[in-house]
């Protein structure tokens, strides 16, 4: 659990009588920036992970950089899901694989990361993929068998018949999907394969049983190659480059707050994840800091602007209508999502920030505070 030391500030008004530009952009005079109750200076350094829960989250996030992207298993799986998350406990694993929280090997579970997507042209087709870390190889092997057994119990007609192309150690559950009345009918193939002290899990649902099995094998092959160079980092430093200092602090204990995500890890959260990964590489973005706001640092100001444009495009399907931007803030764009929440995006130098709020006034105040913070980085 993290205790923040950032004091919430009162309303901030920056007035420059007679001013007609801000950072070279013409504005009215005087300039007034209202940050409400939000801080307007960079925060303190993020504390190291010091509790079992904090360590599990840190290791889960680091593991994300060693997990394959869904469209690397099959190019069709590009529509990502909210279930792409750090799996910090068996309770979180149970969200992905119902009925598994209390398996015999649960006490040996350490951390994991899941990535989930569907085929936008055939929404009934989907993939769930995860890497789960256990205390040792014996625990991982036991967990693979227990997880597969839970998968077989989840639906009548599922069997443990091996899938050709997987190693003999793979534990399998395959058969018709659980929804009897589903239209169209689909087939599910699941594999739980131990690799050292980890279990590689893949579940593919598709109209074609053959395709579901082939994608499971492809995912395992690619994941095995990626794990070949993986060694958990024993360090407890959450934010080695200080990027979280540039974010607005989150006072909650949210799973996706107070964390820094690497480049591949970040790509898991976007549609077309492989394209996103290439874009992050091209723009020199090595990590993102997630808090109440989300901040990225690009290789240059121009590359930062390009990333802001990419983010705007990523919201295209979810965008409902444009929203007013905060007065006097250059380079800030806001819009309403279909859920009626407000998103504001901005570029300040080599930094890009993403703000989300339920009300426009709050979004404007957050954006104003974020702008002032980034000007001081």
Domain ranges of the chain: 21-47+238-375, 52-227
DSSP 283: T
CATH code for the structural domain at 52-227? 3.40.1000
Between 240 and 7, name the one with better pLDDT.
Answer: 240
CB 225 within 8 A of CB 68: no
pLDDT of residue 317: 84
Closest by Cα among 243, 287, 250 to 265: 287
Between residues 255 and 181, the one the model is more confident about: 255
Identify whether the C-beta of residue 292 lies closer than 8 Å to the C-beta of residue 257: yes
Mean pLDDT on 31-39: 86
Q: Can you give the pLDDT at residue 2?
A: 20
Mean of all residue pLDDT scores within the chain:
90
Q: Which tokens sit at 132?
A: 């789960």
- pLDDT range class, residue 181, cuts 50, 70, 90: low
- 189-210 average pLDDT score: 97
Using the Cα atoms of residue 44, residue 45, residue 47 and residue 49 in order, give the sign of their dihedral.
Answer: positive
Tell me the C-alpha distance between 373 and 50, whole Å.
27
Rounded distance between C-alpha atoms, residue 89 and residue 182, angstroms: 31
Confidence check: pLDDT of 9 > 90? no
Asked if pLDDT for residue 115 goes beyond 70, the answer is yes
State whether residue 158 is helix, strand or coil. coil
Residue whose C-alpha is closest to residue 109's, from 118, 100, 120: 100
End-to-end CA distance of the chain: 26
Under the banding of pLDDT at 50, 70 and 90, the label for residue 166 is: very high
The token duo for 217 is 């094998």
Dist. CA 78–CA 336, nearest whole Å: 24
Q: Note the pLDDT tens digit of each residue in 208-259.
A: 999 999 999 999 999 999 999 888 988 999 999 999 999 999 988 889 999 9
Query: What angle do the packed helices 273-282 and 301-314 form, to 10 degrees?
Result: 170
At residue 288, the pLDDT reads 98
Query: What DSSP assignment string belongs to 20-33?
Result: -EETTEE--SS---
Report pLDDT digits (tens) over 52-64. Answer: 999 999 999 999 9
- pLDDT-derived band at 23, boundaries 50, 70, 90: low
State pLDDT tens for residues 269-307: 999 999 999 999 999 999 999 999 999 999 999 999 999
pLDDT band at residue 368, thresholds of 50, 70 and 90? very high
Residue 294: enclosing H or E segment and its boundaries?
strand 294-297
CB 177 within 8 A of CB 187: yes
Kindly tell me the burial class for residue 132, based on how many C-beta atoms sit within 10 Å of its own C-beta (0-12, 13-18, 19 or more). Answer: buried
Contacts of 231 (CB under 8 A, 6+ apart): none
Helices (H), 154-268: 209-227, 263-267
Q: What is the mean pLDDT of residues 131-155?
A: 96
Question: If pLDDT is split at 50, 70 and 90, which confidence band does 154 have?
Answer: confident
Entry pTM: 0.88
Q: Mean pLDDT lowest for which of 51-65, 172-186, 293-307, 309-323?
A: 172-186
pLDDT value of position 177: 85
Give the model's pLDDT for residue 331: 86
pLDDT at 179 over 70: no
């Amino acid at each position: 659990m993290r205790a923040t030391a950032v004091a919430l500030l009162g309303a901030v008004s920056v007035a420059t009588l007679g001013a007609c530009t801000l950072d070279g952009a013409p504005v009215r005079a005087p300039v007034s920036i209202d940050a409400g109750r939000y801080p307007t200076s960079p925060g303190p350094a993020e504390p190291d992970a010091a509790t079992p829960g904090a360590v599990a989250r840190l290791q889960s996030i680091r593991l994300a950089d060693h997990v394959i992207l869904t469209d690397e298993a099959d190019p069709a799986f590009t529509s990502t899901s909210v279930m792409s998350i750090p799996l910090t406990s068996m309770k979180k694993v149970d969200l992905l694989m119902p009925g598994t929280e209390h398996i015999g090997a649960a006490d040996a579970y350490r951390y994991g990361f899941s990535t989930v997507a569907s085929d936008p042209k055939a929404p009934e087709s989907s993939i769930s993929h995860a890497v789960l870390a256990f205390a040792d190889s014996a625990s991982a092997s036991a967990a693979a068998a227990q997880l597969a057994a839970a998968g077989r119990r989840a639906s009548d007609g599922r069997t443990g018949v091996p899938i050709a192309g997987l190693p003999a150690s793979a534990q399998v559950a395959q058969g018709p999907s659980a929804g009897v009345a589903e239209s169209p009918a689909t087939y599910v193939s699941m594999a739980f394969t131990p690799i050292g002290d980890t279990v590689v899990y893949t579940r593919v649902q598709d109209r074609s049983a053959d395709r579901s099995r082939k994608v499971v094998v492809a995912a395992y092959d690619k994941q095995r190659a990626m794990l070949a160079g993986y060694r958990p980092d024993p360090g407890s430093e959450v934010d080695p480059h200080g990027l979280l200092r540039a974010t607005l602090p989150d006072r909650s204990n949210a799973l996706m707050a107070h964390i820094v995500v690497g480049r591949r890890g970040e790509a898991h959260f976007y549609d077309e994840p492989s394209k996103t990964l290439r874009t992050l590489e091209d723009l020199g973005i090595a990590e993102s800091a997630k808090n109440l706001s989300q901040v990225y640092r690009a290789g240059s100001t121009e590359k930062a602007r390009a990333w802001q444009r990419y983010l705007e495009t990523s919201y295209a399907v979810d965008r409902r209508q444009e929203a007013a931007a905060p007065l006097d803030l250059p380079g800030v764009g806001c819009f309403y999502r279909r859920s009626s929440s407000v998103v504001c995006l901005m570029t300040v130098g080599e930094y890009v920030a993403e703000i989300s709020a339920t009300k426009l006034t709050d979004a404007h105040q957050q954006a104003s505070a974020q702008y002032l913070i980034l000007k001081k980085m």
